[in-house]
Structure 1
Amino acid sequence: MTLQPALAHDAFCRPLAADGQSLSYLCGHSLGLAPRAAAERVAHEMHRWATLGVRGHFEGADRGDTPWAQASEPLRAPLARLVGASVDEVVAMNSLSVNLHLLLLSFFRPQGARSRVLLGRHAFPSDRLALESQCRLHGLDPAACLVEAQATEGVSMTDAVLRELHRHGERVALVWLDAVDYTTGEVVDIGRVARAAQAAGARVGFDLAHAIGNLPLALSEDGVDFAVWCGYKYLNGGPGGLGGAFVHRRFHDDAQLQRLEGWWGQAAGSRFAWGQQPREREPGAGAWQLSNPPVLAAAALAASLELFDRFPASTWRARSLALTALARDSIEALDRPPLRILTPADPARRGSQLSLDLPGQAVAMEHALLRHGVVCDARGANILRVSFCPLYNDADDVRALAQALEQLL
């Protein structure tokens, strides 16, 4: 298979080995590479801070700058394009777990027998902690509330969720799923799950941490109730970067939907009007904001989102599939037991990540691969994760991985 160079290879900084050689970076599922423009954008905001001080909150539009009071607004349109939503359905704010708690307060409303949460057996640990604590806030026992769906040999996570909905649907208040399983890299059918959950009378939300910037999404069309994400994996927004949330437009004017309030969730024209006068909420998903955005984090994320906007989603998705297919073929050709690939072979059920099963050897292999110039990561003792991000990975990275595995196994 012949592949063209990475879509935006030179737009990213590549980590270096001790000898100064560029590393093959296959860890975008954990932390994306730094866009070169990110440093320039952050430095520019630092300069504005140094020269304008507090005036930077409202000045600069006449010079092409974004006043800090509006720092997250330019992010909404590119994020909406990535998740398949209208601009008013998305907001850039906080980190994933904070956003999850804020949205759960609105969308997890157990009543009577309908008090359970259906989630994946291998749900991301921080999500599970959030769900458990939300159960306790409602006076419920997490051990009794959380119902797990388990993908097995021949049964996809999507089918496993639908099976559990058939069994427990009348008792499920919320279906919460990772759109991409962080351990196996399996992709769920968001539309099918959303329709099945709502038909059963449950709310439905998704963790997009491993999906946004990895897969084309259509949250609005699929009817998803809500979703949250972080900005530092495939979005390349920097460590601890700015996350975001999606709230379907059908909830924007729902006066019965409870939420926590903060000054940034108020309409822009009244945020700074201190006093006891009645206030108007920010329209759309912006009403879930609590505080002003972190300007430097917003600047870093904007640099990456501009790169995504250079290419149609179909272009980077096709390249992602081509890279993972090449990697899969190269690894399978090694035929080195006990190594096997956990990620589904069906292209529709995988993103940029391949998860390799190496019983008891994953951590040691991660370290050994780094010595051979390949960056990846282990999850537990058995799973080694590699990903092929279409903006900056290419066939040379695939070859580097295959050659290193051949020497080490």
Structure 2
Amino acid sequence: MEKTLNEAITLDEQDPLKGYRDRFHLPKQANGKPYIYFCGNSLGLQPKSVEKYIKQELEDWRNLGVKGHTEAKNPWMPYHEFLVGKMANIVGAKPIEVGVMNSLTTNLHLLMASFYRPTADRYKILIESDAFPSDKYAVESQLKFHGFENGLLELTPRAGETLIRHEDIEATIGREGEQIALILLGCPNYYTGQVFDMKHIAALGHEQGCVVGFDVAHGAGNLLLDLHETAIDFAVWCTYKYLNGGPGSVAGCFVHEKHAYQFDLPRLTGWWGHNKATRFGMRNDFDPLPGAEGWQLSNPPILSLAAILASLDIFEEVGMESLSEKSVKLTGYLEHLMNQIHDDRIRIITPANPVERGCQLSIQVATEGRSLFEGISRDGVIADWREPDVIRVAPVPLYNSFEDVFDFVSILKNRLK
């Protein structure tokens, strides 16, 4: 056992990204020790630099008032533009394809207003049966809004299984494609951590005439996304999970370049999506900006953008390739130690293939799952519980260590005695 701890310490010493842990505030227990924080898939930790970024805007607001829109150190008028290129790098997109705006579900509704255009013959929406609840509520409300009560088509794992088979996705799209108006999946799925082949699904859907979108809330800042190359039509994500933007922070969206100049697409509009050159003319008919910016509604909250920018600057410094490389090792180490427990009460339901997962592992608990979760929580672990029977743990490569992983598994084993 001591040898294994020494191995974890050695892995940390060899980690080229180990210094980034010190650039985040780690929540502390009553005894002063840091919690084992494996909940970045729900809320990322605060970069220490956030305070400086927000203070700059508070100072400019105090000293400049409304003139801060044009005279602040980082002028507020174009502030969102400071984030777009960095965000595009994270999700594998072109800047014209990315917007930083609104909240995730708001962006989802805005994009469905444009891309979910049902007809009497093609009206169904394809999602996972265990999609994130807000996504399911959103698509159900869109169906009802358009007058369709029974248009929800759900991908369900086979009996006795927890993951959706790729061949079943193919079969469903092939069988139902002529009636599907929109394919909308989570990548990864929030519950199981399963990653879907977005490029292949987009090709299958487009061949059948379907629009294809993804919720990548659990992918942005976690997976090596390549949204442009997948050729999906749109995507949405939040910034408060792996992107460390703070609770309720402004979200992101992607609209593929092929739609950038389709100004005839129906959309719900607001003045921040209007041509910048004439935006303050106040009398012009709506003239949409090209690309994702054209779906903006209002000027964004600068203090939230400042917090996000602090984190994005760290991502820009590290690079998603380096983070992904460490993530594969860190999650693989967690999986390796978990597989040595040999207890029928728990099992990992996230795919074993690193290509089909990110840094989250979902641990299904056969009996008394909630009490096991509460037990490890008392022992200094911050993870999360998802009904009905899953503990989600996410060793985030920016601020988690191999020793964190070792200590977590030791705590879990002790609670299973």
TM-score range, shorter chain: over 0.9
Q: Is the 8 A contact 1:24 1:373 kept in 2?
A: yes
Identify the residue that residue 179 of structure 1 maps to in structure 2.
187
Superposed displacement of residue 151, structure 1: 3.2
Identify the residue that residue 4 of structure 2 maps to in structure 1.
none
Q: Is the 8 A contact 2:163 2:194 kept in 1?
A: no
Identify the residue that residue 241 of structure 1 maps to in structure 2.
249
Alignment partner of 1:388 is 2:395:
yes
Identify the residue that residue 3 of structure 2 maps to in structure 1.
none
1:25-64 to structure 2, matched below 5 A, reads: 25-60=37-72
Task: From the superposition, tell whether residues 403 and 58 of structure 1 become closer, same or farther in structure 2 (CA, over 3 Å).
Answer: same
Superposed displacement of residue 368, structure 1: 1.5
Superposed displacement of residue 42, structure 1: 1.0
Corresponding residue to 1:334 among 316, 341, 352:
341
Deviation digits for residues 76-132 of structure 1 (CA, Å, limit 9, x no counterpart): 001111111110100100110000000000000011211100111111100011101
Deviation digits for residues 333-361 of structure 1 (CA, Å, limit 9, x no counterpart): 11122111111111111100000011343
Provide the C-alpha distance between the structure 2 equivalents of 1:137 and 1:156, rounded to a whole number of angstroms: 29
When structure 1 is superposed on structure 2, of 40-49 and 285-294 the one drifting more is: 40-49
Provide the C-alpha distance between the structure 1 equivalents of 2:132 and 2:164, rounded to a whole number of angstroms: 18
What secondary structure sits across from 1:245 in the alignment?
strand
Alignment partner of 1:146 is 2:152:
yes
Superposed displacement of residue 225, structure 1: 0.1
Superposed displacement of residue 291, structure 1: 0.2
Provide the C-alpha distance between the structure 2 equivalents of 1:233 and 1:258, rounded to a whole number of angstroms: 31
When structure 1 is superposed on structure 2, of 365-374 and 263-272 the one drifting more is: 365-374
Provide the C-alpha distance between the structure 1 equivalents of 2:208 and 2:126, rounded to a whole number of angstroms: 12
Provide the C-alpha distance between the structure 1 equivalents of 2:89 and 2:208, rounded to a whole number of angstroms: 29
Identify the residue that residue 329 of structure 2 maps to in structure 1.
322
Alignment partner of 1:282 is 2:289:
yes
Identify the residue that residue 305 of structure 1 maps to in structure 2.
312
Provide the C-alpha distance between the structure 2 equivalents of 1:159 and 1:125, rounded to a whole number of angstroms: 25
Provide the C-alpha distance between the structure 2 equivalents of 1:182 and 1:289, rounded to a whole number of angstroms: 26
Q: Is the 8 A contact 1:157 1:188 kept in 2?
A: no
Alignment partner of 1:108 is 2:120:
no
When structure 1 is superposed on structure 2, of 145-154 and 234-243 the one drifting more is: 145-154
Superposed displacement of residue 157, structure 1: 4.5
Q: Is the 8 A contact 2:70 2:77 kept in 1?
A: yes
Paired AA for residue 185 in structure 1: G
Superposed displacement of residue 7, structure 1: 5.6
Corresponding residue to 1:158 among 139, 159, 166:
166
What secondary structure sits across from 2:190 in the alignment?
coil
Task: From the superposition, tell whether residues 155 and 186 of structure 1 become closer, same or farther in structure 2 (CA, over 3 Å).
Answer: closer
Q: Is the 8 A contact 2:96 2:260 kept in 1?
A: no
Identify the residue that residue 360 of structure 2 maps to in structure 1.
353
What secondary structure sits across from 1:334 in the alignment?
coil
Superposed displacement of residue 250, structure 1: 1.0
Provide the C-alpha distance between the structure 1 equivalents of 2:178 and 2:162, rounded to a whole number of angstroms: 26
Give TM-score scaled by structure 1 length: 0.95
For the aligned residue pairs, the C-alpha RMSD in angstroms reads: 1.4
Provide the C-alpha distance between the structure 1 equivalents of 2:299 and 2:99, rounded to a whole number of angstroms: 12
Provide the C-alpha distance between the structure 1 equivalents of 2:389 and 2:313, rounded to a whole number of angstroms: 37
Identify the residue that residue 82 of structure 2 maps to in structure 1.
74
Superposed displacement of residue 154, structure 1: 9.3
Provide the C-alpha distance between the structure 2 equivalents of 1:314 and 1:79, rounded to a whole number of angstroms: 14
Q: Is the 8 A contact 2:163 2:192 kept in 1?
A: no
Corresponding residue to 2:263 among 255, 270, 275:
255
Superposed displacement of residue 249, structure 1: 1.0
Provide the C-alpha distance between the structure 2 equivalents of 1:207 and 1:293, rounded to a whole number of angstroms: 21
Provide the C-alpha distance between the structure 2 equivalents of 1:274 and 1:360, rounded to a whole number of angstroms: 62
What secondary structure sits across from 2:74 in the alignment?
coil
What secondary structure sits across from 1:253 in the alignment?
coil
Identify the residue that residue 91 of structure 2 maps to in structure 1.
83
> Identity of counterpart residues, as a percentage?
40
Identify the residue that residue 368 of structure 1 maps to in structure 2.
375
Identify the residue that residue 207 of structure 1 maps to in structure 2.
215
What secondary structure sits across from 2:277 in the alignment?
helix
Gaps of 5+ in 1: none
Paired AA for residue 58 in structure 1: T
Superposed displacement of residue 362, structure 1: 3.0
Task: From the superposition, tell whether residues 253 and 122 of structure 1 become closer, same or farther in structure 2 (CA, over 3 Å).
Answer: same
What secondary structure sits across from 2:184 in the alignment?
strand
What secondary structure sits across from 1:119 in the alignment?
strand
Corresponding residue to 2:27 among 8, 11, 15:
15
